[in-house]
Structure 1
């Protein structure tokens, strides 16, 4: 009752003048009535229908279901890492009890995120699955966490403004910004510079599912099919890595976990990047019945990924940009490209190269012009990927 009474008085609460004297009801043209808000905006009127925090379309449902799969694997990953490695194994790389407690708290956050999306989806929401992870050491665990949270974050940014349900988008936004903080923390645990970019990329749902699905080994029978495509896997054969055992064993400030380290970038413009990719038709993900089979984009102009009829392109995706470089010396499902140079969008931004941080690379059949809002237009042109490229 008290809170409701205070809320009702908000338009009439005092504002403080420059002299510090309370002025009740800031006057507008001699009136004590507050001015109307600027016109426009969605659902800002008192006459707007109350928000419904649920999907309005199948696009919404499938996007939220994908986000829920991401939350489940993050919860499982954080719990598994804490269980797999002993205190002494963590401490060898400077991760003390306080750091491990933070990872535990991040797993608690994932419980809340999963519950939020489950509530929006209802009774048919995907349940937690079983997973297989590609690490055997603490540095590999931390590295995988910062990579996985990166594509999880980017995967939501990509579809968030396209949801038909704005109320659902609002709730999802308030969870994904927490995941962005998790990703930065894992970079700090790894001894990397925490945020070597000005903007964060959004990627399409197909990209996020392509990266996530291979780590799912099985799911509850009641989980329904997820309506996103898997592309053939792409491997950066000589990809740079954030793992540096010698550096990570050193005590701060020489190395190890830290708020920040001014480490030299892990890659550089002009670097030769060797690529290898799979052919389409491979079953991936949680189901053994061939439900998820990798496929090329619908407009790819080649007989198959081993017999290109046109030039293939490496698509470098990071921040506000996509940049294309030709794939050279293609032989079967291998080739190489050159890491591009340049700054991101604005020539005036220092220390902001096109390829930086935990970024993405894919193979496409055409260098299509796209922007952050219509990024998914690249989907029909996908040949393989994406893969994570650990530029810095």
Structure 2
């Protein structure tokens, strides 16, 4: 927990009326530290204050500029629609006293602040088909509203973030260095990596590079990055720091990774990791209701490839961090990253066994729309 003195220094540089004494840790993110602060006035909006992990997000100014561009674009779109509330449906960055949207404190830490969206909730594990459907609508609408931003407009916050060839290269380097002496104990996991490595490089194949358009996407579509209202209806997509160019299948795949799993992403009992296919079907319905407006044929074909890739990639990342000594992701106990990796590998196996049927569900759903996806 940050000291009240440190928080007070930070808060004093934002245009807000936060009660410093009300701070409490908030959320379950792996990377940044987030704090909830009440407004000093009972009638005023509350706040979320985030300490940005500067070792991962090394160019905070460019990252913040991405977030500003995206939130302004989304707010303008919602306003143009003539319905909806931009302040409730889009995150709002709070400026600092010098007009910027981040603050570097006296210790070198970087901070940003948002208005807290009250009467909302998020789920680490999807519980109902309605929630899955609403999540699909939320991410589909998010992509659709950003689909007119040309590729190249966003700064690449983390280069090669979803490039599996780079992730496998990082794993090879970790194995070669064996900094924590853990390689000998993960032979089984490394064998799984090798088994799937070739098939997971679909998005690096020349044909796919030539036909799949790069778009502005979220890049971290865990289901808990959708805020739902009290009726379990999607209200706002959050956690926008990785918004940059990529393939829509990456977002689809990461959402499916966290929605269809019948348990948590770090489940220790692998027998509990099953697929909830009704949740998959519901997500696909919601997603394509919005995304069918802009998706190309090639993108529709790629969606299930993304659903296979993202849990595999996440497993590779967890395994790499475990071998490196847990330098990237926050852990709750020794071996946590290895447990996460094993769970994600098990999810890959389950998805692989059901991939053909799941792809057919996607094709059946896209066929329901009068406007067929454009060629691409």
Which structure has more RCO (C-alpha within 8 Å, separation ≥ 6)?
Answer: 2
Q: Point out the structure with the larger strand share.
A: 1
Larger Rg: 1
Query: Normalising by structure 1, what TM-score?
Result: 0.26
